[in-house]
Amino acid sequence: MNRRDALLALQREYRGRAEAIRRDLGRGHSADFAEQAQQRQNDEVLEALQAEAELGLDLVNRALQRLADGNYGLCLKCAEPISEARLNAMPAAEYCLRCATLN
């Protein structure tokens, strides 16, 4: 799979995840007070997961823009190439390993 296809697959995954969480958060709550308390705790977890999915989607969208601009795979901090191994593991990586560990 090429980089663009990998990024598009990640984009679909994050979008799907965020949409599913939005649907779950949009459902009503029980009239039972004890159950409402549990549902509100679950909502907090879902909100954190939604934020994570939206952050991932943002990272992927920025990587797709860098790909379109012709500077995908270059560290945003030092402008050196990001290793193939790192890009294989994290296609939306913005920083080389050295700069990522310094942040």
Q: Note if the pTM is more than 0.85.
A: no
Which class for 54: exposed (0-12), middle (13-18), buried (19 or more C-beta within 10 A)? Answer: middle
What's the chain's Rg over C-alpha atoms? 18
Kindly report, residue by residue over 53-83, the tens digit of the pLDDT: 999 999 999 999 999 999 999 999 999 999 9
- Domain positions in the chain are 1-71, 73-103
User: Is pLDDT above 60 for 30?
Assistant: no
**Cα 30 vs. chain centroid, distance in angstroms?**
31
- Average the pLDDT over 20-31 and give the result: 76
Bridge partners of 3?
none
Average pLDDT value for the chain? 89
User: Is pLDDT above 80 for 26?
Assistant: no
Please state which of the ranges 41-45, 59-63, 76-80, 92-96 shows the lowest mean pLDDT.
41-45
